[in-house]
Amino acid sequence: MSPKSLPAMRNVEVVPFEHEGERLVCMTDPEGIIDGQLVLSQLAFFVASLLDGESSVSDIQRTAKELFDGHVIKEQDIRRVVQYLDESGFLVTENYLTIRQAVIDAYVSADARPAHLAGKTYPDAAEELREYFDALFDGRWKTAGKDSVDAPPLRCLIVPHIDYERGAEAYATAYRLLRQTPAPTTVLVFGVAHMGPPVPFTLTRKHFETPLGTLKTDSAAVDRLAAACSWDPFEYELIHRTEHSIELQAVLLAHLLGPDVKLVPVLCGDFEGENERGHAPIDAKVDRFLDECRKLVAESEGRTLVIAGADLAHVGRRFGDDFEIDEDVIRSIEKRDREDLAHVTSLDPQGFYQSVMKDVNARRVCGLNCIYSALHAVAGIASTSELAYYGSAPDPAGGIVSFADVVLH
């Protein structure tokens, strides 16, 4: 970067929206270093989009003049946008690096992972959270599924990780069934590493704080799984700090079972090796790791439950598609989802994976690796299964997310 070059924008998530007739852009930090949202006008976002670490003020002015029929953006306006972005931590500058290091130091030094979404997605006070769950779930818990006093013990639950509000019916159905069976002492939770680390699994030894108490992580089990890795499973541990797919399960487990249940938290990342076809088979090291998970579950003699916190399809403009969601799209998504889920209820992890990938995962099934892992971890342990719930919910930014409950006994 030359002395005249402006700093580069960080990788951010961008969602356009309208407010009182004005088109605006909302930016968030997918890494979670910066909390909250940043709202920009269209002009400010135009300037931000040109901050590549090489462009100068005059470069941005020249580009704007070419694109907007001679319109010139004042230097002071460009520098005002740059200052705002820098102060907010959205540029690659010393300010951001200082903020990031402070966040990392705080996380590394703590014994427990703070409840990142407390006070945002759900209440952060214990009594308020219990009242929230009672209001959201209790009616559904009384009516969802079938009553069975002789329910066989659960071996695995596949549940959503969408927010509680939109996934209320699915959460109620799955966790109601958990309430009806003997409580596990340990829960092996597979979550989705939405940040996409280039390793198959990422572990943490940190305990999980919730407003209802701290769930202890079974460090011995984590160490055992770490020993089965041919990569460093803690290299990208920071992604656990803000990942919601395990957190939302941990909070519900604390609500239903109390804080004494132990966790084995595993985030699923990239599963594929490399080959000439561009779409590779699952890397053998993935199955070696999951074989160790299966042994861990089997040796607990029914005291370990496996949970996959996994959503299914993500379709629509919010996710990069160029079409609107209508009834035909919703029906086609459900048709393909149910094709995939038939392999899940058949206890066939490889068939499920191949079914999702036959169109190169065109629906963006984010729970693909998570569900595959859960099925593999209970292979030969679970003997029956049922699809207990299927549903979908709109995305506020334009799209649809589908999800399901699968119960394995």
| 291-323 confidence digits (pLDDT tens) | 999 999 999 998 999 999 999 999 999 899 999
Phi/psi of residue 408, nearest 5 degrees: -115, 125
pLDDT band at 69 (very low <50, low <70, confident <90, very high): confident
pLDDT band at 282 (very low <50, low <70, confident <90, very high): confident
Ordered alpha helix ranges (H), 315-381: 327-345, 349-357, 368-377
Q: Is residue 144's pLDDT more than 70?
A: no
What does the pLDDT read at residue 15?
A: 86
Q: Which domains does the chain have, with CATH numbers?
A: 13-105 (1.10.10), 111-408 (3.40.830.10)
Q: Is residue 235's pLDDT more than 70?
A: yes
pLDDT band at 244 (very low <50, low <70, confident <90, very high): very high
Distance of alpha carbon 193 from alpha carbon 242, whole angstroms:
10
Q: What is the DSSP letter of 91?
A: B
What does the pLDDT read at residue 318?
A: 87
Q: What is the pLDDT of residues 354-396, one digit of tens each?
A: 999 999 999 999 999 999 999 999 999 999 999 999 999 999 8
DSSP one-letter string for 279-328 = SPPBPHHHHHHHHHHHHHHHHTTT-EEEEEE----EESGGGT-SS---HH
As a whole number, mean pLDDT of residues 9-14 equals 94
Residue written as tokens 């009516």?
143
What does the pLDDT read at residue 273?
A: 56
Q: Is residue 105's pLDDT more than 50?
A: yes
Q: What is the pLDDT of residues 256-272, one digit of tens each?
A: 999 999 999 999 998 97
DSSP one-letter string for 132-152 = HHHHHHHHHHHHSS---TTPP
As a whole number, mean pLDDT of residues 58-87 equals 93
For CA atoms 402, 36, 263, 122, give the dihedral sign: negative
What does the pLDDT read at residue 277?
A: 39
pLDDT band at 142 (very low <50, low <70, confident <90, very high): low
pLDDT band at 353 (very low <50, low <70, confident <90, very high): very high
Q: Is residue 3's pLDDT more than 70?
A: no
As a whole number, mean pLDDT of residues 330-339 equals 98
Q: Is residue 149's pLDDT more than 60?
A: no
Beta-carbon contacts of residue 94 (< 8 Å; ≥ 6 apart): none
| Inter-residue contact 268 to 367 (CB < 8 Å) | no
pLDDT band at 109 (very low <50, low <70, confident <90, very high): very high
What does the pLDDT read at residue 405?
A: 97
| The two structure tokens encoding residue 137 | 């779930």
Q: What is the pLDDT of residues 41-50, one digit of tens each?
A: 999 999 999 9
Q: Is residue 1's pLDDT more than 60?
A: no
Query: pLDDT higher for 277 or 254?
Result: 254
pLDDT band at 148 (very low <50, low <70, confident <90, very high): very low
Proportion of the chain above pLDDT 90, given as a percent: 82
As a whole number, mean pLDDT of residues 128-133 equals 95
The gap between the terminal CA atoms of the chain, to the nearest Å, is 59
Q: What is the mean pLDDT of the chain?
A: 92
Q: Is residue 126's pLDDT more than 60?
A: yes
Query: pLDDT higher for 250 or 72?
Result: 250
Look up the pTM and report it.
Answer: 0.90
| The two structure tokens encoding residue 397 | 């930014």
Q: Is residue 278's pLDDT more than 60?
A: no
Proportion of the chain above pLDDT 70, given as a percent: 94
